[in-house]
Chain A
Amino acid sequence: AQSVAQPEDQVNVAEGNPLTVKCTYSVSGNPYLFWYVQYPNRGLQFLLKYITGDNLVKGSYGFEAEFNKSQTSFHLKKPSALVSDSALYFCAVRVNDYKLSFGAGTTVTVRA
């Protein structure tokens, strides 16, 4: 079954340091992978997606993600974190034509 896993419930970084949020996937065939961010009591905001092509995907708000087929990973990265990046981050994989399978989420806290 198509699924993703986010191995870290929480990530804590200092402002200005690099931020990485990990995601691994398990799929048959080519994966369609997504990252979303959620601020408290808000809906999910789309950050970026990998369908095919370059392994490094650039998205909104300075985020990027690296698709690694050999390690079945799709980690989200930001070179210099901001306090305003503190939020809940979800990785997702398309299971079929209508369904996304979401990870449990990773809470990111960026301290000033």
Chain B
Amino acid sequence: DGGITQSPKYLFRKEGQNVTLSCEQNLNHDAMYWYRQDPGQGLRLIYYSQIVNDFQKGDIAEGYSVSREKKESFPLTVTSAQKNPTAFYLCASSIETGPDTQYFGPGTRLTVL
């Protein structure tokens, strides 16, 4: 899991609530990513950021929002508009976009009650 931390490890949310997942890296990486993992489906890209104050939608951005105010931080907000938010969320970073390896954090498991 290297120098990427995610918190909390487990998160429970009531329907209709927004929640924010934290991702911090001390690797001095420019690029950061958020993925969603569901059983049997691999990982799907939610958002990515190539540089501070810039981010782009991935394949499944609806119902999610992000910010990138600092190089080391890329928080993900799961809004009430996300219809099926229960999943395992993984943050990753790489030196830059391109063929560089993406390194992953330990993940946050979100459960909607």
Chain A interface residues toward B at CB < 8 A: 9, 32, 34, 36, 41-46, 49, 51, 90, 94, 97-100, 102-105
Which residues of B line the A interface, CB within 8 A?
A: 1, 4, 6, 31, 33, 40-43, 45, 48, 50, 56, 58-59, 88, 90, 92, 97-99, 101-107, 109
Q: How distant is the Cα of A46 from the Cα of B103 in the complex, in angstroms?
A: 7
CB atoms of A98 and B50 under 8 A apart: yes
Secondary structure call for the A interface: loop
Q: List 12 A-B contacts (CB under 8 A).
A: A34-B101, A41-B88, A46-B101, A51-B99, A90-B42, A98-B33, A98-B56, A99-B45, A99-B58, A100-B102, A103-B42, A105-B42
| Smallest Cβ-Cβ distance to A102: which chain B residue | B42
Residues of A within 8 A of B92 (CB): 44
Contact assessment for A41 and B109 in the assembled complex, using a CB-CB cutoff below 8 Å: yes
List chain A residues, Cβ under 8 A from B40: 9, 104-105
Closest Cβ of chain A to B38, distance in Å, is: 10
Contact of A45 among B50, B59, B104, B109 (CB under 8 A): B104
A102 with B43, Cβ < 8 A, contacts A42-B1, A45-B104 known: yes
Most chain A CB neighbours (cut-off 10 Å) among B48, B101, B105? B101
A43 touching B99 by the CB < 8 A rule? no
A36 cross-chain contacts in B, Cβ below 8 A: 104
**Residues of A close to B33: CB separation below 8 A:** 98
Q: Find out whether the CB atom of B99 lies under 8 angstroms from the CB atom of A32.
A: yes
**Roughly how many angstroms separate A100 CA and B99 CA in the complex, as a whole number?**
10
* CA of A9 to CA of B48, assembled, Å: 29
Q: Quick one: closest A residue to B56, CB to CB?
A: A98
Q: A34-B101, A43-B105, A94-B99 are in contact. List 14 more A-B contacts (CB 8 A).
A: A42-B1, A43-B4, A43-B107, A44-B43, A44-B90, A46-B101, A46-B104, A51-B99, A90-B42, A98-B31, A98-B56, A99-B58, A99-B59, A102-B43
A43 to B41 alpha-carbon distance, docked (Å): 15
Partner of A43, one of B42, B50, B106: B106
Cα distance A41–B111 in the bound complex, in angstroms: 14
Report the separation of the CA atoms of residues A42 and B1 in the bound assembly, to the nearest whole angstrom: 8
